[in-house]
Chains A and B, each alone.
Chain A
Amino acid sequence: MRARTVITVNKPASECYALWRDFERLPEFMYHLESVQTAGGRRSHWRAKAPAGTTVEWDAEITEDEPDRRIAWRSTGGDVENEGSVDFAPVPGGQGTEVAVAVDYTPPGGPLGALVAKLFGEEPLQQLKDDLRRFKQVLETGEVVRSDGSPDGTRTQRQFHQEDAHPQESPSSQEARA
């Protein structure tokens, strides 16, 4: 499975690069991720949410790191073989930065494969686009934008299973109040 897409963010390439390079912050805008731990240097450990309360995990290493221009990574072991890259290119006229992302997943065989396919496979392009919309929101506005219909913010599944547009009894996120 592969998906690639691009978004324009009204911030300099250095800020876009800095947010992405801080891998531990990726789950802030990549909602299928539960956590990314960096072990210093180029190595990291990723955990993704899977259906039925399970998780899938893998180790990754950075294969290319050009400050303010490009980051590429690939898995080195674990449940899901995958690789990805992000390129940052200034828009002429000081109109921000084009952020182009490519990700490739190779699901494993067996039941875990079906799980991973479900996780990434329903709308992989839409998921990646929504990830980038949230990335843009975090950079331009400071956080992910929420509504009553989409209390978690932009989220692929949520867009097709909306809450009613009235305040919910218990919002799924309370951290805004903190």
Chain B
Amino acid sequence: MRATCWAGVNRVEVRDVPDPKILNRRDAIVRVTSTAICGSDLHLYDGYMPTMEKGDILGHEFMGEVVETGPGVDNLAVGDRVVVPFPIACGACVSCQRGLTSLCENTNPNAGMAERLLGFPTAGIFGYSHMTGGFAGGQAEYVRVPFADVGPLKIDSGLPDEQVLFLSDILPTGYMAAEMCDIKRGDIVAVWGAGPVGQFAIASAFLLGAERVIAIDRFPYRLRMAAEQSGAETINYEDTDVSEALKQLTGGRGPDACIDAVGMEAHHGTGPINAYDRVKQAVRMETERPHALRQAITSCRNGGVVSVVGVYGGFVDKFPMGSLMNRGLTVKTGQCHVHRYMRLLLEHIEKRDIDPTFIITHRLGLDDAPTGYETFKNKADECVKVVLSP
């Protein structure tokens, strides 16, 4: 089959590889009909995520048709149309039973590797380094889906792929970001990053009752999308002092909640601090460039919530602990527990509360994946989201 493989820093190649096989009783093989490139795939592309190997198949946002099931899968049949959540969850451990599926205790065969870096291991994730299990990803013609009796959501309605594909990751991730803000009547939420997750966090914050949402980015086309599609107010940090602008927009209080939808490769408006972090990240003295997170903390209202869904891999420098502690902020974070949001969000899509297709700017064939990565990375051609059709 054809598959998008990591070939080193800034290189992906679509190669011929063997077809996937059933390895565990509860596996299914899915023929991928639609898959997307995620912002977090760019952390792999850019080479900032540890434990990648050349040849690894990328992709954790995908959906398709079941073509084979293992003997332990009794709820899916060949021909079923499914969306697959990016974290692999067993459904039986205490974490899964508490709904914390991205922390599944059983699905990461390389738990020892993750434990060394993180203290405790996390769940297996499709196509996302060996630290998260070394599972082949879904930017391919076929993919093996472990615990197919737990994860995949069957789509029985005739909704097209593009309406439901993002249930695999970014729509639930954006929704969880907003849910963690514990939004109350009158609340103002600020969102750093108007990429795909940021766009869905903005839409979800309104869905959950936010009075106003303020989007922060440096790309006018992305800010325009946030304003036009969801009604967000916008701040371009390249020409505006964000903290001061947020105070102006919130009567001097600061936003009630701040969402970091950027993660480890944030850019920054001021040169020297950006240079400091770039150098330290390049020589691996820190693994992140956490400008957005720092600003989200220092901008948040006293006693407010900082919700972090941007991906981090290791350690950050100059973390504003004094601001966080003295002002009584709460940090909530996590890889999205996709399983617990899929059904709810499918209902929202069916009721037309949200139409997730608005973020799609590029539709390509699987063989054009390298172009997709390059376009997405460079934010060329006003790119927000690339969908690939194998």
Contacts and interface: CB of A to CB of B under 8 A. Distances in A.
B54 interface: yes
Interface stretch (B77-85, B103-111, B213-221, B287-295): B103-111
B127 interface: yes
B53 A162 contact: yes
Given A153-B109, A159-B112, A164-B54, A146 B136 contact: no
Contacts of B106: 133, 136-137, 140-141, 145
A143 B25 contact: yes
Given A149-B109, A162-B110, A167-B144, A141 B92 contact: yes
A162 B50 CA distance: 13
Interface stretch (B12-20, B199-207, B303-311): B12-20
B23 A146 contact: yes
Interface in A115-154: 126, 129-130, 133, 136-137, 140-143, 145-151, 153-154
B20 A163 contact: no
Interface in A22-41: none
A85 interface: no
A68 to B, nearest CB: 20
A168 interface: yes
Interface stretch (A50-58, A73-81, A169-177): A169-177
B253 interface: no
Interface of A: 8, 10, 95-96, 126, 129-130, 133, 136-137, 140-143, 145-151, 153-156, 158-160, 162-169, 171, 173, 176-177
Sort A-B residue pairs by CB-CB distance and give the 7 closest, nearest first.
Answer: A149-B134, A164-B55, A150-B109, A165-B56, A146-B23, A167-B20, A140-B92
Given A140-B106, A148-B136, A177-B70, 10 more contacts: A10-B92, A95-B94, A147-B135, A147-B146, A149-B133, A162-B134, A164-B53, A165-B134, A166-B17, A176-B23
Interface of B: 3, 5, 17-27, 53-57, 70, 72, 90, 92-94, 97, 105-107, 109-113, 115, 124, 127, 130, 133-137, 144, 146-147
